[in-house]
Structure 1
Amino acid sequence: MLDLTTSNLTSRYSWETLDQDQDALRWLESTVLPPYLSTCRWFAGKARQQEAFRVAVMHGIGLGADAVAFLAIVEVVYADGETERYLLPLSFIETDQPDASEIPSKGILTPAEFDQKSGLLVDGIYDERFRLALYANLAGENVMPQKAGQVRFYRGRGLAADDVDTTIISRVLPVDSSNSALAYGVPHQPEKYFLKLYRKLFQETNPEVDLVSFLTEESQFSHIPAYAGSIVWEQEHTPDITLGMMQLMVENQKDSWSQTGDYLNDFLYAVPNRLFTIREDVFDRVELLGRRTAQMHLALYSPKSDDNAFKPEAFTDEYRAFIIRRIEALLERRYAMLIDNYTKLDPLAQRLAWVFMEAKEMIDEFIEDFRHRPLESLRTRIHGDYHLGQVLATDNDFIIIDFEGEPESSITERKIKHSPLKDVAGMIRSYHYAVSAKLFGSTETENIDPDHLQRVSERWYNLIRDTYMNAYLETIGNPHPLYKNSNEFNFLLLVYLLEKAVYELGYEISYRPAWVKIPLKGIMDVIREIQKIQTADPNRDSEVPRLQMGLLETKKQ
């Protein structure tokens, strides 16, 4: 029976029977979980009206010496929208345990007492016994039957045989994100493996685990943190749910966004002196990233795979309709946002916005062309959220990370096969952002005419883009079944560049009006190329609408 006279969780039953203690579980749901989850960075429902918290499932995980922790699956019901599920490991640390005083406040759900034993109810990741139990089960490839299905631990090639039966060191990494990160190591290498526990759960395997395990187990592509294992909740007649994934840790200098910013500093300092300088090693790095991107796409191109999830597919009518619905919805919202916020934009952004809105008919025709144009290129699984921030720079190479896909897309959408050019478009846009943000956001250039900065940034971007693309194409090979020919390649790249830049535009209008010119310039580049395609088409029945490009002409500096 639960003692309701105290604000702490107090039960006459033992901790090990928590999954059967209905009074304690109801106390957790009504009193403990609502305030606690709202303090967690990984809880995505803070801004929504919460109606109920339910402990839907409790998976028991043995900690040795008859101790146990639980993998709690917590359902959060909202006034509007779908119910969400979260993974919350639970452990009980008695007051007299040596590490009880070391639990950080953010890891403590509540003081508690079970069967007259006082202690702390904590997020299990802060209990070393729980962390080591996860590792041991992964290393042993164990299967743990539960009341609701089973928890299966998969071991991958990345987990070295020498590290299966040895002393393991663990700690919680100070990563404040949508997931939790644990580090594992051996005495001579204290941080060798990285275990990501997925907090928000979906009724499907996580796309990151699918991709990283495939690349590690089925290809020779080594420029990712190798797959070392995963934790999966399996039930009959229900899709598996991924709870966590372990990979090799990667020693890196910084992500490529930061490194590109460093390279741009030399360029930035020269601009006020009307000098145009790019170090040669910048081109070397960009070429290398182009090659690594192509090698990743070649590894994901698997026409002989027995796994349908990785077999290439054609550009079906269904897929085209999906992309067109997405682009048209984005365009409709962006046109409206530009009209509502037009007076808040600076003069350069206003001119770009005007030409963009005047080009609506041309863009609509381009979209219809995508709907009906014969395409023989192929679609595969891709990274899905590819930009400079997803690439770690080592001393002389790159490691590609975070294969979870677009954060705002559903898990099902993240598994849709696209042309790899969607990734390429993401990286090209990232380079454009890097130079534009540096030049337009630095004190060194604040007194320079924006039109001049626009031209200078465009020259840098064009050189870097062409360097990246040339290396990519050289590595992919020409022709390659992924891309029927150069015409299809260029056409599809425009489709994904348009989608990406229009998507970016909404964020900038809402949060960074001073940066609206960056995605608008990206859209303008696409519009110019669309006009070239339409003008050169001998089968067109009507003239291409003339764009108001004169609005973009500026005085020479």
Structure 2
Amino acid sequence: MPTDQPFVSSVTWSDAINNSGFWSSLAQTVLPPYVNTCRWFAGKARPQTGFAIQTVHVVPLSDGDVAYLLILEASYANGLPEQYLLPLSFVSDRASRTLPFRLADVPEKGRIGDATLGGRVGTLIDAIYDERFRQALFGGIQQNQTIAQANGQLTFHRGNGLDNDDRLHSQVLPVDSSNSAMTFGDKYFLKLYRKLFSETNPEVDMVAFLTDESSFDNIPAFGGSIVWKQGSTDVTLGMMQRMVSNDRDSWAQTGDYLNDFLYAVPQRIFSIREDVFEKVELLARRTGEMHCALYKPIRDGIPSNPDFAPESFTPEYRDFLIQRFEDLLERRYTLLIDNYTKLDPQAQRLAWVFMEAREMIETFIADFRTRSIDSMRIRIHGDYHLGQVLAVKNENNEDDFIIIDFEGEPESSISERKIKHSPLKDVAGMIRSYHYAVSAKLFNSAETEELDPDHLQRVSDRWFYLIRDTFLNAYFDVFGTPHPLFRNNNETNFLLLIYLLEKAVYELGYEISYRPSWVKIPLKGIIDVIREIEKIRLSDSDGPSDVPMLQTGLLQKN
């Protein structure tokens, strides 16, 4: 959204690159009110102390003009500064008639402000809305360009998913998100990363690896990347992929095939169509194939790609996971106690069981530190759920799935997103997603609002357990037994519980804060895991006998 007052400078647009005063003035006047309206800026709610333009890159345009890529630093009263990418273009009133796009078509959210630069009147816009800029990015990737800059260089890397295309019409997708997306023809999708980190984005690493070094085809193929190279540091600015035609993601598809189940519940009929199981099995196989593609064993002592070489469950990894989980558990218990009175009676009963089982959970986590584990860890998707899978038709017009969005957990640092885990962490994410799908449908629909919540819980459990077991059976069939990723059933069950518990406890915080009526969903997931933990404990002759048993009697109504 433009500012009320135009930005005025005697510096011309083309000469601005070498004028630090120009950029300092821009960062203090025009940019703060604009950036705070942008969906991609994550610092709106934080007390800000100012903005500064740390680096400016030049992108030559086809008509001799230039656009700039600004590395914008936002500083806060508390915490570390953050860096954001802001592409900038200047459209003068005089030149607007000859441009390959109309200024009138630039939406308000793309207009930064009116400006007079070196006597020329015009408008500063987010350059993603400038057709010349979009074509410059596409051409740079297609030609593997390197553009020297005052601070490092911009490197455009072409991937195997890019064809030798002529100029393709481009447009900006209207969806607001934490990144910006552009399309080229009906073939390519270019994502610009707005929030930047001082290392390569894990999504680019993952998609490039799967495209270039495996035969796994169920992702949008890697078309290329844009990287700012500065000494030994690579900062990922964007990634291009092949476009995928789809009607919906798997969350929406699952919701659709839950409708028949939902309508039958008030009639006390339990019904699941056979094609539901077929889709679950197919998704499980694609998940397993993805993990097989990410498993690149070391040959003759030399990894083909060290970043993707499998690793063991080292003490360092166990310490990392335990510390993160213990911190998470402490925060969730505190949050649950503080908000207990806001919960409905069913959620309160589940909460009591969770709180009473704290010692059992802590003993289980402590066991993870010393338990013998021979299974291996690899790079994984990291934020895997039904919303990250697109339902598509393959080249034979058969139902299939495409897996997307390999950026990893949004709240984790870039380094943490690259940590290798058991692929069971992804499996746990998908299992929790299926649990959410059926629970959200049954507990939040007009068709079931008059039914007893405990009856709904039993019905949703039956559906979920069938789907969960179907998924797991089909998933493990992909690998065969034994496999270095899953040495034996005992290890597999133990590790799956670790990741399921971590995921459900993580979910609990969001639901308490934003959707108290949904708190029962992660709480029920936690209770399911605790029941399995107790089975392990009872079957372990060396297990501690002084840890209290699960207080399932608390789940009963008074």
| Range of TM-score over shorter length | over 0.9
Q: Do residues 345 (structure 1) and 343 (structure 2) align?
A: yes
Structure 2 counterpart of 1:180, one-letter code: S
Which residue of 2 is the match for residue 213 of structure 1? 208
TM-score, length of structure 1 as denominator length: 0.95
| Selected match of 2:451 from 414, 430, 448 | 448
State whether structure 2 residue 142 is matched by structure 1 residue 139: yes
> 1:170 is matched with which residue?
170
Counterpart amino acid of residue 254 in structure 1: R
Conserved in 2, the CA contact under 8 Å of 1:535 and 1:544?
no
C-alpha distance in 1 between matches for 2:447 and 2:257: 15
Unaligned runs of at least 5 residues, structure 1: 1-5, 186-190
- Would you say the 8 A contact 1:534–1:544 is kept in 2? no
**1:542, distance to aligned residue in structure 2 (A):** 2.3
Equivalence for 2:179: 179
Q: Distance in 2 between matches of 1:131 and 1:183?
A: 9
Q: In structure 2, how many angstroms separate the alpha carbons of the residues matched to 1:20 and 1:399?
A: 45
Residues 13-71 of structure 1 deviation map (CA, whole Å, 9 limit, x = unaligned): 32111122233212211111110000100001101111121111111011023211111
* Residue in structure 2 matched with residue 276 of structure 1 by the alignment: 270
Equivalent position SS for 1:148: coil
Equivalenced residues, count:
541
1:286, 1:174 → 2: CA distance? 32
In the other structure, the counterpart of 2:396 is none
Q: Which residue of 257, 261, 281 maps to 2:251? A: 257
Contact between 1:451 and 1:554, CA under 8 Å: does it hold in 2? no
Q: Structure 2 counterpart of 1:64, which letter?
A: S
- Quote the Cα distance in structure 1 between the aligned partners of 2:442 and 2:129: 44
Amino acid at match of 1:487: N
What is the distance in 1 between the residues matched to 2:251 and 2:104? Answer: 39
Between 57-66 and 300-309, the greater mean CA deviation after superposition: 300-309
**Which residue identity lines up with residue 191 of structure 2 in the other structure?**
K
Q: Residue 518 of structure 2 corresponds to which residue in structure 1?
A: 515
Shift of 1:541: 4.8
Letter in structure 2 aligned against 1:473: F
Counterpart-to-counterpart distance in 2, 1:476 and 1:52: 53
Counterpart-to-counterpart distance in 2, 1:357 and 1:36: 46
Instruction: Name the counterpart of 2:234.
Output: 240
Aligned twin of 2:288: 294
- Per the TM alignment, residue 547 of structure 1 is displaced from its structure 2 partner at its CA by 1.9
Superposed displacement of residue 306, structure 1: 2.6
The whole-number CA distance in structure 2 between the counterparts of 1:104 and 1:40 is 12
Question: In 2 relative to 1, CA 345–7 (structure 1 residues): closer, same or farther, beyond 3 Å?
Answer: closer
Q: Is the 8 A contact 1:94 1:100 kept in 2?
A: no
Select which of 12, 26, 29 maps to 1:28.
26
Note if 1:481 corresponds to 2:484: yes
Listed as ranges, the matches of 1:308-457 within 5 Å are 308-395=306-393, 396-457=399-460
CA distance in 1, matches of 2:557, 2:35: 53
One of 300, 304, 308 as aligned partner of 1:306: 304
Return the letter of the residue paired with 1:108: R
CA-to-partner distance for each residue in 1:315-366, whole Å, 9 max, x for gaps? 0111111111111111111111222222221121111111111111111110
Counterpart residue type for residue 501 of structure 2: L
Identity rate of aligned residues, in percent?
A: 64
State how far apart, in whole Å, the 1-side matches of 2:92 and 2:512 are. Answer: 52
CA RMSD of aligned residues (A): 1.3
Q: Which residue of 1 aligns with 2:191?
A: 196
Q: Secondary structure at the match of 1:379?
A: coil
Moved over 3 A (4+): none
Structure 1: how far apart are the matches of 2:90 and 2:489?
61
Preserved CA contact (<8 Å) 2:530 2:550? no
Secondary structure of residue in 2 paired with 1:327: helix
Contact 1:11–1:113 (8 Å) recurs in 2: yes
Other structure's SS at 2:529 match: helix
Name the CA distance, whole Å, in 1 between partners of 2:87 and 2:538: 60
The offset of 1:7, in angstroms, is 3.1
Give the alignment's TM-score, normalised by structure 2: 0.95
